[in-house]
């Protein structure tokens, strides 16, 4: 929506912010954007979340998806014809057999990064991914494949310096400068850096595998990376909700959906989506607030981000999203900022945090237990 917003300096860790130049109604779309680069999480892929290797569109049918997530191989869904998966368009790399939802995605991937990262041509990539998985367990926040694709895009670009400069214009520090560890500790980070340098054929992006450059790249992703989630089941639920049917049919299908979510929750918990991370040129300028007025969604069931107003937004108001989930937003200022420092390398100064700055930094027993579990998982 050109002209509906503008970028301004804010003094925030990112430097820039996005401000409305017109009012937005609640639920109105502010803008949508495709990423510069995206990648599915390694553990997410390993656990059978089958998605397009480029755009992360789910490649299971809704029946296949529900049967896997509910651990019920004979489950039957009503209105299966509403499934959006079109397997007739699916294709794969002839060499390594990674799948794509369409020939177009395959061509884009080959041009941007897959020419360098095809596992059939680069067998060491499998070892790199396995190393990463052993030091970064779910829930994931970044993927080693995102880093590999960034490097491959620079190596394959006709204007390599321009691509590198675009990425380095994103806000970042080195991990050590930030004063906190991002995802992995320094020793493990250097192990990954060494494996990336040894695995990928790097000529022009050598700075990114230097100690300083690799730390900056991790911090860049930490500050700017946007989680991506896609689901063929949620798309089916949305389309069922739009279908004309009798009150009796509506009651029956609503009951089915409630039971279906309960069954999936029992088997896989909150891990319902194909999940990954992406870097967006415009979306990355959206700052965090613990009282956000906008939300990033993925209604096209691919890596295209759609930013939507959560409430009415006035002209001149900064458009802010939350970097943390709804549950964490309800916790104490201490707990919110502990997560923001850990994963995004900054302490929040939004109005809510400033109002609570004089309050004791208390953490509930439940929050403390969860934080201890997270720390044990990372150690």
pLDDT per position as a tens digit, 210-227: 999 998 898 888 888 899
Of 311, 336, 359, 377, the C-alpha closest to 28 is 311
> What is the predicted pLDDT for the residue at 259?
97
Higher pLDDT, 158 or 92: 92
Query: What is the arithmetic mean of pLDDT over 226-239?
Result: 96
Residue 119 pLDDT class (50, 70, 90 cuts): very high
pLDDT at 10 over 60: yes
Beta carbons within 8 Å of 137's beta carbon, 6+ residues apart: 43, 377
Question: What confidence tier does 181 reach under pLDDT thresholds 50, 70, 90?
Answer: very low
Check whether 233 has a pLDDT greater than 80.
yes
Residue 359 pLDDT greater than 80, yes or no: no
182 pLDDT more than 70: no
Q: What residues are paired with 196 via a beta bridge?
A: none
Confidence of residue 298 (pLDDT cuts 50, 70, 90): very high
Query: Any residues with CB less than 8 A from the CB of 355 and at least 6 apart, and which?
Result: none
Q: Are 309 and 28 in contact (CB under 8 A)?
A: yes
CA pair distance 216, 285, nearest whole angstrom: 18
pLDDT (0 to 100) of residue 377: 46
Is the per-residue pLDDT at 44 higher than 90?
A: yes
What pLDDT is attached to residue 304? 98
Beta bridge partners of 229: 275
Question: What is the CB neighbour count within 10 angstroms for residue 176?
Answer: 14
pLDDT for 341 equals 83
**What is the per-residue pLDDT across 55-103, written as a single tens digit (0 to 9) for each?**
999 999 999 999 999 999 999 999 999 999 999 999 999 999 999 999 9
Q: How far apart are CA 221 and CA 151, in angstroms?
A: 13
Where is average pLDDT lowest: 33-37, 233-237, 300-304, 374-378?
374-378
pLDDT of residue 339: 87
**pTM for the predicted model, two decimal places:** 0.87
Statement: residue 22 has pLDDT above 80: yes
């Amino acid at each position: 929506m050109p002209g509906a917003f503008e970028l301004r300096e804010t003094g925030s860790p990112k430097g820039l912010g996005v401000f409305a130049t017109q009012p937005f109604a609640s639920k109105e779309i502010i803008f949508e954007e495709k990423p510069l680069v995206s990648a599915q999480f390694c553990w997410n892929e390993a656990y059978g979340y089958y998605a397009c290797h480029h755009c992360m569109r789910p490649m299971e049918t809704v029946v296949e998806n529900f049967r896997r997530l509910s651990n019920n191989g004979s489950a039957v869904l009503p209105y299966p014809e509403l499934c959006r998966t079109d397997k007739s368009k699916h294709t794969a790399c002839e060499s390594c057999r990674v799948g794509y939802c369409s020939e177009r995605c395959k061509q884009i991937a080959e041009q941007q990064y897959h020419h360098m990262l095809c596992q059939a041509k680069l067998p060491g990539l499998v070892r790199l991914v396995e190393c990463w998985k052993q030091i970064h367990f779910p829930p994931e926040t970044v993927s080693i494949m995102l880093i590999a694709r960034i490097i491959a895009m620079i190596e394959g670009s006709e204007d390599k310096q321009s691509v590198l400069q675009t990425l380095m214009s994103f806000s970042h520090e080195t991990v050590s400068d930030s004063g906190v560890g991002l995802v992995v500790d320094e020793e493990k980070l250097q192990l990954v850096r060494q494996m990336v340098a040894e695995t990928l054929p790097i000529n022009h992006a050598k700075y990114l595998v230097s100690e300083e450059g690799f730390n900056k790249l991790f911090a860049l992703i930490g500050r700017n990376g946007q989680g991506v989630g896609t689901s063929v089941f949620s798309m089916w639920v949305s389309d069922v909700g739009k279908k004309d049917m009798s009150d009796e049919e509506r009651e029956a299908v609503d009951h089915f959906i409630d039971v279906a979510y309960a069954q999936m929750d029992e088997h896989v918990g909150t891990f319902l989506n194909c999940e990954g991370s992406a870097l967006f040129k415009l979306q990355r300028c959206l700052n965090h607030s613990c009282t956000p007025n906008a939300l990033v969604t993925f209604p096209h069931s691919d890596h295209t981000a759609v930013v939507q107003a959560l409430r009415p937004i006035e002209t001149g108001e900064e458009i802010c999203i939350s970097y943390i989930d709804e549950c964490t937003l309800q916790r104490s200022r201490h707990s919110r900022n502990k997560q923001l420092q850990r994963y995004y390398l900054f302490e929040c100064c939004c109005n809510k945090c400033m109002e609570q700055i004089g309050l004791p930094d208390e953490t509930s027993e439940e929050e403390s237990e969860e934080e201890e579990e997270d720390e044990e998982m990372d150690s």
